[in-house]
Structure 1
Amino acid sequence: MLRECFVMVMTHYMELLAVNQPWNLILYMAIPVILAETIAVSELYLLYTRALDGWVRQINRWAGILVGIYFSGITVTLLVTAVGPLSASGGWRGPIDVIAVGFYLLGVVPLGGLALLELGVVARERSPWERMKIHAGLVAVFLVVAHVAMIFGMLDPSLAWAGAMEGMGHGGHN
């Protein structure tokens, strides 16, 4: 009975990263985060130096294009293989689980925006500095969205339903 009190349920976000080690962690976390951090760090350099060209700008540009395309693929894959089936079967583990996965997938908006900006699909008529402001804003939005996903992803999803979970065999407290 004491052992049941300490059973923790993982969010689907955390479970995705934990299974098939180390591949899921690399594919779904390391690659996008390394690219996003490369963009964030190079963005700081570019904003500080006001450099609009050079090798740091090229790294920033290509990382933006690559992460936008890559994360779009991740989003489509997870919508088809996880979100759809979980929604159809009622397999979500509560609101914390939905928030963690939802915010993770919401990362496609700023990352896709970065790729579209770098490819000249959007804001093409804007000045280089106006595009840089948009770029920095998209980086900031991604960092917020990703951190919300990580924070909720690390929570025990049963915390949101602690009262409703009692007696249901889901690790609720007796």
Structure 2
Amino acid sequence: MAMTHYMELLAVNQPWNLILFMAIPVILAETVAITELFILFNRQCSGLLRKINKVASIVGGVYFLGVFVYLMNAAVIPLTMSGQWRGPADVIAVGFYLSGIIPLLGMALLDLKLIGKQRDEEAKLKLHATFVAIFLVVAHVAMIFGMLDPTLLMSSPSSQAMPPHSMH
């Protein structure tokens, strides 16, 4: 079975690519998500959980910025220029994975006080939680499409026509 570039990236150079491109970003993002729930539930804008949340948010955003820049230069641009994408599922998986930069960097910038300066604490909490939710959605879409056989979403006239004997 063929695999998407997303899955191939995680499968080669074991265990390092899995750690660098999946484990580190996901552990940091899940740390933010879990601590975010407690912060939102208790409305705690200070304390140990908020510090863990803030550190994981900033480190996650900065780290994923490095991943984003690296993969754009090492994979996305070369694959696009050479026409080596393996179909729509491949593009969707990689595209959604890399779009994680938007919420991850957004959280980091918010926690570094580079955006949202005019917002009160409640509005900052809501924006931060929105970034967490966006990340969870894009990461899961990337994983789902990344696990597909990339040829599954490709259309070809021969695969769409039903053979006459199958109509019985």
TM-score band (shorter)?
over 0.9
Report how far residue 163 of structure 1 moved: 2.8
What is the letter of the counterpart of residue 156 of structure 2? G
What is the letter of the counterpart of residue 7 of structure 2? M
Q: Quick check: 1:23 aligned with 2:16? A: yes
Runs of 4+ more than 3 Å apart: none
Report how far residue 162 of structure 1 moved: 5.2
Match of 2:150 in 1: 157
Q: Which runs of 5+ in 1 are unaligned?
A: 1-7, 167-174
Using a 3 Å threshold, how does the CA distance of structure 1 residues 102 and 164 change in structure 2: closer, same or farther? farther
Distance 2:130 2:109 in 1: 14
What is the letter of the counterpart of residue 58 of structure 1? K
What is the letter of the counterpart of residue 127 of structure 1? D
Matches within 5 A, 1:1-174: 8-161=1-154, 163=156
Over the residues paired in the alignment, what is the CA RMSD in angstroms? 1.1
Alignment check: 8 A CA contact 1:68 1:114 kept: yes
Distance 2:29 2:158 in 1: 38
Which TM-score applies when normalising by structure 1? 0.89
What is the letter of the counterpart of residue 31 of structure 1? I
Q: Which runs of 5+ in 2 are unaligned?
A: 160-168
Distance 1:100 1:164 in 2: 24
Distance 2:120 2:17 in 1: 39
Distance 1:104 1:33 in 2: 11
Q: How many residues are aligned here?
A: 159
Alignment check: 8 A CA contact 1:158 1:165 kept: no
